[in-house]
Amino acid sequence: MHADITPEILLRAYAMGIFPMAETRDDTEIHWIDPRRRGVFPLEGFHISQSLGKAIRRADYTIRVNHDFAGTVRACADRPETWINDQIFDLYTALHAMGFAHSLEVWRGDLMIGGVYGVVLGAAFFGESMFSRQTNGSKLALAWLIHRLRAGGFTLFDTQFLTPHLASLGAVEISRSDYHRRLRQALDRPATLFPADYAPYPSLISSGGASSSVGTSSTSGATKPESQDKTQTS
Provide the pLDDT for residue 114: 97
Q: In sequence order, which residues have a C-beta less than 8 Å from that of residue 107 and are 6 or more positions away?
A: 61, 62, 63, 64, 67, 113
Strands 156-160 and 124-132: parallel
Residue 146 maps to a domain: yes
Residue 143 maps to a domain: yes
3-class SS of residue 11: helix
pTM: 0.87
For residue 211, give the nearest of 225, 192, 226 by alpha carbon: 192
CATH of the domain at 71: 3.40.630.70
| Rounded Cα distance, 138 and 126, in Å | 16
Residue 42 maps to a domain: yes
- The domain in which residue 40 lies consists of 36-82+100-233
- Write the CA distances from 184 to 99, 122, 173, integer angstroms: 21, 10, 18
For residue 26, give the nearest of 89, 68, 71 by alpha carbon: 89
Provide the pLDDT for residue 27: 77
Q: pLDDT tens digits, the chain, 234 residues: what are they?
A: 445 789 999 999 999 999 988 877 777 788 899 999 999 999 998 999 999 999 999 999 999 999 999 999 999 999 888 878 888 999 999 999 999 999 999 999 999 999 999 999 999 999 999 999 999 999 999 999 999 999 999 999 999 999 999 999 999 999 999 999 999 999 999 999 999 989 888 998 988 754 443 333 233 333 232 333 334 544
Number of domains in the chain: 1
Residue 209 maps to a domain: yes
Residue 4 maps to a domain: no
3-class SS of residue 46: coil
Residue 87 maps to a domain: no
| Rounded Cα distance, 48 and 202, in Å | 12
CB 92 within 8 A of CB 19: no
3-class SS of residue 86: helix
Q: In sequence order, which residues have a C-beta less than 8 Å from that of residue 112 and are 6 or more positions away?
A: 68, 71, 72, 75, 105, 106, 133
Residue 178 maps to a domain: yes
Residue 25 maps to a domain: no
